[in-house]
Amino acid sequence: MNFVDAISSALSNYFKFSGRSLRSEYWYFVLFSLVGSFLLTFLDAEISDYQTWTDFISSDEFGVTGSIFNLAILIPSIAVCARRLHDIGRTGWWMLIPLTIIGIIPFLYWMCKEGDKGTNRYGDIPLGSARFDMNTDISTSSVSAKSSINHDAQTLPSSAVPDTDTAGNTLKKKLDEIEELFKNSLITEEERQRMRDKALGIEFS
């Protein structure tokens, strides 16, 4: 997830405290918050009665635009933090641990930690995640491979498709069927070897 997508996702889920968020969404929003606050400090210094920017910073005065910005991003900041904790399987209440000071270290570790690879109690893997894409690709490839094999099996002559296994099948017949499948590109070299090993194991067990 890039910077623009992360900010858009965080703001579009303004009040959403359920579900999961990516590391990139959380950290990009933190960057957005820090840069926004920093830049608005300059603007507040310009419209204040202070002569220089450093005088404004050293004062106890709160800038108008900076205060409005910080209030505006308060809720989505809490929400995206809660969802980031959900992504590693923790409740959002753990965001309070930095208040103990020593808890800052584990909190930063959790925020940098990769999320759970599968569905957890807070929901599915966030969209846009490499974890999600990987699982989707594997699932899609598996379905495509099975469909291709089934289609090829239907178009091949019956001699190329192994008969239903019965008690009378010999080891030689099983190995011949495996070789026929491999010769017709219905199985890979690895699958061929695995099927041969299984046949031999069954035959000699």
* Separation CA 82–CA 19 (nearest Å): 9
Alpha helices in 13-129 (DSSP H): 23-47, 53-58, 64-72, 74-87, 104-112
Half-sphere exposure of 128 (CA within 13 A, CB side): 12
What count of other Cβ atoms lies within 10 Å of the Cβ of residue 25? 25
Specify the pLDDT at position 202. Answer: 53
Q: What is the pLDDT of residue 149?
A: 46
pLDDT per position as a tens digit, 88-107: 999 999 999 999 999 999 99
Confidence at residue 205, expressed as pLDDT on a 0 to 100 scale: 39
Annotated domain spans of the chain: 3-129, 157-205
Residue 9's H or E segment, with its range, is: helix 3-12
What is the overall mean pLDDT for the chain? Answer: 78
**Model confidence at 112: pLDDT above 90:** yes
Percent of the chain with pLDDT over 70: 71
Distance of alpha carbon 123 from alpha carbon 142, whole angstroms: 24
- Cβ atoms of 107 and 84 closer than 8 Å: no
Which structure tokens are listed for 185?
């590109």
- Interacting residues of 5 by C-beta distance below 8 A, sequence separation 6+: 25, 128
Residue 148 and residue 128: Cα distance in Å, rounded? 28
Tens-digit pLDDT profile for residues 38-87: 888 888 777 776 666 676 666 767 778 888 999 999 999 999 999 999 99
pLDDT of residue 41: 82
Q: What is the pLDDT of residue 51?
A: 63
pLDDT tens per residue, range 58-69: 676 777 888 899
- Which stretches within 60-188 are classed as H helix? 64-72, 74-87, 104-112, 130-155, 171-183
Phi, psi of 123 (to 5 degrees): 130, -170
Weakest mean pLDDT among 79-83, 158-162, 188-192: 158-162
Q: Which two tokens stand for residue 115?
A: 């999320």
